[in-house]
Chains A and B, each alone.
Chain A
Amino acid sequence: MDDILLLDAIERYLSGEMSAEERSYFENLRKTTPEIDQMVVEHNMFLHQIADYAANIQIKQTLHEVHQYLLERGDLNEGGAISTKGKVIQFWNKYKRVTAIAASVGGVIALFISGLAMYFSTSVNDPKLEQLGKDLEVVKKNQQAQVNIINEVTSKIPTNARLLSGGSGFLVDPKGYIVTNAHILKGTGAIVVNSKGAEFKSSIVLIDHDKDLAILKINDEEYESVKSIPYSIQKTNSSLGEEIFTLGYPRNEIVYGMGYLSAKTGFNGDSLSYQIQISANPGNSGAPVFNKNGEVIGVLSTRQAQADGVAFAVKSKNIHSIIEDLKKSDTAFRKVKLPSKSALKGVERKTQITKVEDCVFFVKAYTK
């Protein structure tokens, strides 16, 4: 027990925990008692030993950890023991700069190629093609000119919103789903106007710029679902020479046009669309193209700038595929169903038109 007390005193003395008074007493004790002095020296040496021993264990531990870490990172290689992870990381670390340069070169090339692709593709940016959406600044002027006549209709376009473009669209589901061209919808929203001049608010639910198709949904209390859609949407390709007609809004009023299917591919062999011979004007974009049985075979989209009457229509099977996309995008759209039977077969054209015109809308895109 005395030994323990003494050891405690020595430890406290060596670690400097003693008070000044205690310390001077203890130092005095050391001087007068050689055994205690010897114990202090011995214990001091022992404590150093043990501290060095502890430090040695710690540095070994650190070295071990560093070794493992560097091995994992791939900075060290111990023959076959190297992990692929290490290899990849090492590769990355080694070639980071090269990769960055390669990536930027790749980026430049990609830009260049996409530029080329733009230039050569059948894209609507082609100067030889004209989109048939129309600039609604003109429409607006027309509207202003006619304001006295159509005064009774208050516009549903939000105040402060600027009209951007317009075109046509047609119902594909009685609940108010309208197919139109993607290029018409330049703004943030759209309203649709029926053949009687009634406006309905609508929202863009799907837009596919590759196919140049879009789906609008009328969400307006005043909209009454049509009982049924008289036309069907054809799934298969149509034949050359087939007689076609269209209804659209190149003006503020619905306009009928007639022609024939002139080629199975569109501009520059674009297999997504047909070439049709029809007189099309800005505003006809998004209009349905019917065959004589009243089946929708396409969506009128562009015309060739230099050639008279040469227009192009997105094939109707693309409507089927974007409706599938729409169903997949949200469960709310699962019940959307394309009309499968045409009620217009063998019916006189005038009757066909009266039945169809309620389902064709004037689409006005605006931005806030």
Chain B
Amino acid sequence: MKGDTNEQALLKGLAHNDSKAIEIIYKDNFNMIQAFILNNNGSYDEARDIFQEAMIALYEKSQTDSFVLTCQIKTYLYSICRRLWLKRLQQMGRYTGSIDGFEETVAVEEDWENHEKRNAEFAIMDRALNSLGEPCKSLLQGYYLKKMDMNALAAEFGYTNADNAKNQKYKCLMRLKKLFFSQYNIGE
């Protein structure tokens, strides 16, 4: 079962972080997931978390070169959410042994593991960035996250010129790399 052209377009939009496409996917699927979570001991906040997590998993999947979705978006999101919620319930000790919901599911184990791995990496990056201290953290965030150019960064942080800012950025980057890889390799 291959997603129709409309779904293909939506996934393309999602891959490019297009808010219109995300809005449509969100609107079409959120209520179903929310009902599922609420029916299985979950809260509104948890429904939101789980759904957004699944959206991110789908987003990550859409980024890969060999990306093909072999089912409907709806089925995929439901499968991920179901898997996620089951794990969450078990972690919290609220799992009662059965979970309601009779929607069709697809195998998402592989994607799921990838997503978990990515999340772990992001957590490491997050920790590394946060232990950098200022101004390194903001400087690197400005360059790599907000994609500001060196001149703008020099102006914002008060460096006399872009070259000085660039020097500082490399120093910070080396520290970040060190922090990141020390954690990352342990994780491996």
- A residues apposed to B, CB below 8 Å: 3-4, 7-8, 42-43, 46, 49-60, 62-67, 69-70, 75-79, 81
Whether A7 touches B174, Cβ cut-off 8 Å, given contacts A54-B145, A59-B17, A69-B23, is: yes
Q: Find residues 22-56 in chain B having any chain A CB closer than 8 Å to their own CB.
A: 22-23, 26-27, 30-31, 34, 44, 48, 52, 55-56
> B26 touches which one: A3, A7, A49, A70 (CB < 8 A)?
A70
Whether A70 touches B27, Cβ cut-off 8 Å, given contacts A3-B174, A8-B166, is: yes
Task: Say whether B170 contacts A56, CB under 8 Å.
Answer: no
By a CB distance below 8 angstroms, the chain B residues around A62 are 17, 19, 22
By a CB distance below 8 angstroms, the chain A residues around B181 are 42, 46
- Cβ of B144 < 8 Å from any Cβ of A? yes
C-alpha gap A46/B17 in the complex (Å) = 22
Q: Find residues 115-141 in chain B having any chain A CB closer than 8 Å to their own CB.
A: 118, 121-122, 125-126
Nearest 8 pairs of A and B residues by beta carbon: A78-B44, A4-B170, A54-B145, A53-B125, A63-B52, A50-B144, A7-B170, A66-B23
C-alpha gap A67/B50 in the complex (Å) = 13
C-alpha gap A81/B44 in the complex (Å) = 10
Task: Say whether A75 contacts B144, CB under 8 Å.
Answer: no
- Cβ of B95 < 8 Å from any Cβ of A? no
The DSSP consensus for interface residues of chain A is: helix
Q: Taking the nearest CB of chain A, how far is it from the CB of B56, in angstroms?
A: 6
By a CB distance below 8 angstroms, the chain B residues around A64 are 52
- Cβ of B180 < 8 Å from any Cβ of A? yes
Task: Say whether B30 contacts A56, CB under 8 Å.
Answer: no
Task: Say whether A67 contacts B26, CB under 8 Å.
Answer: yes
C-alpha gap A51/B118 in the complex (Å) = 12
Task: Say whether B52 contacts A70, CB under 8 Å.
Answer: no
- Cβ of B59 < 8 Å from any Cβ of A? yes
Known: A3-B174, A7-B170, A54-B147. 10 other contacts (CB 8 A): A52-B122, A56-B122, A59-B59, A60-B56, A62-B17, A63-B22, A63-B26, A78-B44, A78-B48, A81-B44
Q: Find residues 68-127 in chain B having any chain A CB closer than 8 Å to their own CB.
A: 118, 121-122, 125-126
The winner among A62, A65, A75 for most chain B CB atoms within 10 A is: A62
C-alpha gap A78/B181 in the complex (Å) = 41
Q: Can you give 18 A-B contacts (C-beta < 8 A)?
A: A4-B171, A42-B177, A46-B180, A49-B125, A52-B118, A52-B121, A53-B125, A56-B118, A59-B17, A59-B55, A59-B59, A63-B22, A63-B55, A67-B30, A69-B23, A70-B27, A77-B31, A79-B44
C-alpha gap A3/B174 in the complex (Å) = 9
Q: Taking the nearest CB of chain B, how far is it from the CB of A72, in angstroms?
A: 12
B135-175 vs A, CB cutoff 8 Å, 1 = contact: the mask equals: 00000000011010000000000000000001100110110
By a CB distance below 8 angstroms, the chain A residues around B34 are 76
C-alpha gap A51/B174 in the complex (Å) = 16
Task: Say whether A66 contacts B19, CB under 8 Å.
Answer: yes
Q: Across the two chains, which residue of chain A brings its CB closest to B123?
A: A53
Task: Say whether A49 contacts B22, CB under 8 Å.
Answer: no
> B30 touches which one: A3, A52, A76 (CB < 8 A)?
A76
By a CB distance below 8 angstroms, the chain A residues around B147 are 54
Task: Say whether A55 contacts B17, CB under 8 Å.
Answer: yes
Task: Say whether B19 contacts A8, CB under 8 Å.
Answer: no
C-alpha gap A57/B30 in the complex (Å) = 20
By a CB distance below 8 angstroms, the chain B residues around A77 are 31
Task: Say whether A66 contacts B17, CB under 8 Å.
Answer: no
Whether A4 touches B167, Cβ cut-off 8 Å, given contacts A52-B118, A53-B122, A59-B56, is: yes
Q: Across the two chains, which residue of chain B brings its CB closest to A50?
A: B144
Task: Say whether B56 contacts A70, CB under 8 Å.
Answer: no
Task: Say whether A49 contacts B174, CB under 8 Å.
Answer: no
Q: Across the two chains, which residue of chain B brings its CB closest to A75?
A: B27
C-alpha gap A224/B141 in the complex (Å) = 85
By a CB distance below 8 angstroms, the chain B residues around A3 are 170, 174
C-alpha gap A43/B118 in the complex (Å) = 18
C-alpha gap A75/B34 in the complex (Å) = 13
By a CB distance below 8 angstroms, the chain A residues around B48 are 67, 78
